Chains A and B, each alone.
Chain A
């Protein structure tokens, strides 16, 4: 079963490359670059450390924004659970903040925090926070109230309920939130860089596009995609380990 999947994926990958090569021959490398041009440029960029130079900035912005926004998004719902009034008061503001297009406030962040790292971190925070907050909150609401009641009867205090029941119930949701938010945080950092920056992968792509350097754009996109896929893989592994108590996860592990 697993082998068939890998084989299918390999064939699809080769087909995609063939299609790309075909398109570049049909329309010219000016529009589509070509697999070989892109690969050799990628190799050169890695060799000269240029790729790492830009990647470093993008990842730093994404990581900082993810940590700050993610921590706030995970922690805030826990006290709110115990104070429903606060939740109702804050609700429209949070929904508004979630709905506001972050791309539209990006220029404001650049105005406030400059074109350096800080403005991109702010953009990432503004996206990650709301994603994680709402998903975590949904997780906290999914807690089986019977478990809480029975635990109270057995003498559990609020802190036990939070730590031993609410937190583990919300954990699958929190992981899902992280899984969604991680690629978003990289994407958000890049969007910030596209708008205004002097380093980072977004800047690199923007710069290449301005020079009509299609190969450069493709290389940038490939690096970003590879990084995001790598991040996803790490999160999936962590999730499987942390949630091994869940039946579905357990059976999935068994079938591997």
Chain B
């Protein structure tokens, strides 16, 4: 086992992923090629790239629900995954949370039962966390919906529930895969605001994947632009827009239009 420079919360080294066909090598798809990422503790990193560019695959591999073809992943300087590992450890002992594109709430559980699900399976003190769950629900206007079933909620509310489900058990790193993708613009902005507020309060390390340039800029401390097929890191931008940022009026943010122009060009 090797170690890495432990000043980084999460480090991805030389990550590649080939979706293969055993019979015909010409059908192989190089989804990711030699990706290197270094994320500091408490950093909000956005990963921007065209659809189908292997962005989700990066997160799936970091969350250990998909295997890498090459590469190593370090968490706080400790190697947690190396290509060729047979035994995967999804979520790395609950250190890495994952908010996927789909809601993935259990339809047969109420909202509060869903939010408490990780607490239950991790054997954490239920009552203590229940109190915090209600606090978090208050922060995102879900108060009073605890006993509803997911299908009774709007898409935006379900997203908030999913967000809280991960925040509640408090993994230091949270991966987010276009979590606000299917929502209408207004709900989306509202959720971005909620997310930034919570992140500023709790200072999680967040890797947030999106194909929306404005979203990538407005949320991020730093944004990484990927190319597609194979996915490689094309450019990296420190986003020096001061916080707190007003997500409702992004064009008024100092420097936003310049970032937007530059990054949009990278995507071509």
List residues of A whose CB falls within 8 A of some B CB: 144, 146-147, 149-157, 160, 164-165, 168, 171, 245-247, 250
Contact = CB atoms under 8 A, between A and B. Distances in A.
B106 A146 contact: no
B44 interface: no
Given A153-B65, A155-B122, A164 B96 contact: no
A33 B258 CA distance: 92
Contact of A153 (B97, B106, B120, B149): B97
State the 8 A-B residue pairs at the shortest beta-carbon distance, nearest first.
Answer: A153-B91, A152-B90, A154-B118, A168-B108, A245-B108, A156-B121, A155-B122, A149-B65
B94 interface: yes
B210 interface: no
Interface string B95-135: 01110101010111100000001101110000000000000
A154 B106 contact: no
A153 B165 CA distance: 12
Given A149-B65, A155-B91, A164 B97 contact: no
B75 interface: no
Contact of B118 (A144, A155, A157): A155
Contact of A155 (B94, B106, B108): B94
B63 interface: yes
A151 B63 CA distance: 12
Given A149-B90, A250-B151, A155 B104 contact: no
Contact of B106 (A147, A149, A152): A147
A154 B109 CA distance: 16
Contacts of A154: 91, 94, 97, 117-118, 121-122, 165-166, 169
Interface residues of B, number: 27
Given A153-B97, A154-B94, 5 more contacts: A154-B165, A164-B106, A168-B106, A245-B108, A250-B151
Interface string B165-205: 11001000000000000000000000000000000000000
A85 B91 CA distance: 27
A160 B121 contact: yes
Interface in B52-81: 63-65
B197 to A, nearest CB: 23
A147 B65 CA distance: 12
Contacts of B93: 155
Interface in B152-176: 165-166, 169
Given A155-B118, A156-B121, A150 B107 contact: no
A147 B91 contact: no
B75 to A, nearest CB: 14
A150 B165 CA distance: 11
A154 B165 CA distance: 9
A245 B118 contact: no
A246 B106 CA distance: 11
9 contacts: A147-B104, A151-B117, A151-B121, A153-B64, A155-B118, A156-B117, A160-B121, A165-B106, A247-B151
Contacts of A152: 65, 90-91
A157 B106 contact: no
A250 B107 CA distance: 12
Nearest to B123: A155
Nearest to A167: B108
Nearest to A157: B121
B203 to A, nearest CB: 21
A147 B166 CA distance: 14
Interface in B9-56: none
Contact of A245 (B91, B107, B165): B107
Contacts of B117: 151, 154, 156, 164
A146 B102 contact: yes
B121 A150 contact: no
Given A156-B121, A157-B121, A160-B121, A150 B98 contact: yes
Contacts of A153: 63-65, 90-91, 96-98
Most buried by B among A154, A171, A246, A247: A154
Contacts of A149: 65, 90
A171 B104 CA distance: 18
A160 B120 CA distance: 9
Contact of B104 (A146, A168, A250): A146
